[in-house]
Homo-oligomer: A and B are copies of this chain.
Amino acid sequence: MSGRLAVVGLGPGDARWLTPEAEVALAEAEALYGYAGYLDRVPPRAGQSRHPSDNREEQARARAALAAAATGAKVALVTAGDPGVFAMAAAVCEAIEHGPAAWRSLDVAMIPGVTAMLAVAARVGAPLGHDFCALSLSDNLKPWETIERRLDAAAGAGFVLALYNPISRARPWQLGKAFELLRRHLPGATPVVFGRAVGRTDERVMITTLLEADAVQADMATLIIVGSAATRLVARPDLPPLVYTPRAGEASA
């Protein structure tokens, strides 16, 4: 088969985080697929067809992109951040596993990108400076009990936590419940970072504590970092504090 599917990570919403490899994959594509909100970030090019889709249709979107590649086209499926972190790369693998045998012969390339937690962390210092976990709070595809068990295990063992998909209209209570649960493991003074739409014009980054953290301060575009007991603040005159987790990372051990 001559078709090719590139699953392209655009990085968070700032073109200065788009890698040259991703840029080339976008330029070479004959057809672009992706959630409409992400596809809007890719400037139109002559001769390229564009196939925006709804946010929720991950499997359908993956199958449509694979079917287009199977006709011999060069296809790019775009995602925000990194395609391998709570994004389309896993959906594409799943579609290949359960799809027509011919899809297993396609040239499929995942193009990595800067994932949201790295961009949020960079804005405030180095909160992910030591061992950390990335966890989706969405219970659309896994039971809430599994999420609670993972929050307990990660916080109890001293990992910093990056929380993806913290809240949505259909999942309004999960983040508050997560903060409540984490307060059982961690001091109230533990630094918490809310990073909303980082790299976009409506970026908003807030540093607070676990005691003060309130789920109403988050929305669907927010990535949350909850420190470990080792995470520290460095106060700075006329500048926001630095938040970092020392490489030794041992206050909680």
Interfacial residues, chain A to chain B (CB-CB below 8 A): 11, 14-21, 24, 58, 82-86, 89-94, 96-97, 104-105, 108-115, 118-119, 121-123, 125-136, 141-143, 145-146, 149-150, 152-154, 156-159, 232, 234-239, 242, 244-250, 253
Indicate which residue in B11, B89, B122, B245 contacts A122 across the interface (CB closer than 8 Å): B89
On whether the beta carbons of A85 and B118 are closer than 8 Å, the reply is: yes
Task: Given A94-B246, A110-B121, answer yes or no on A132-B129 (Cβ-Cβ < 8 Å).
Answer: no
On whether the beta carbons of A131 and B126 are closer than 8 Å, the reply is: no
Alpha-carbon distance A11/B242, docked complex (angstroms):
23
Most buried by B among A244, A246, A248: A244
Alpha-carbon distance A152/B83, docked complex (angstroms):
28
Listed by A's residue number, 19 A-B pairs whose Cβ atoms lie within 8 Å are A82-B122, A83-B126, A84-B129, A85-B129, A86-B247, A89-B126, A91-B247, A104-B234, A105-B238, A111-B122, A131-B136, A132-B134, A142-B250, A143-B250, A145-B253, A146-B253, A153-B154, A153-B156, A154-B159
Measured between beta carbons, the chain B residues less than 8 angstroms from A128 are 84-85, 134
On whether the beta carbons of B17 and A112 are closer than 8 Å, the reply is: yes
When C-beta atoms are compared, the residue in chain B nearest to A125 turns out to be: B93
On whether the beta carbons of B244 and A130 are closer than 8 Å, the reply is: no
On whether the beta carbons of B104 and A237 are closer than 8 Å, the reply is: yes
Measured between beta carbons, the chain B residues less than 8 angstroms from A146 are 158, 250, 253
Alpha-carbon distance A83/B119, docked complex (angstroms):
11
Alpha-carbon distance A153/B252, docked complex (angstroms):
14
Measured between beta carbons, the chain B residues less than 8 angstroms from A85 are 118, 128-129
Whole-angstrom distance between the Cβ of A126 and the nearest chain B Cβ = 4
Measured between beta carbons, the chain B residues less than 8 angstroms from A110 are 121-123, 125-126
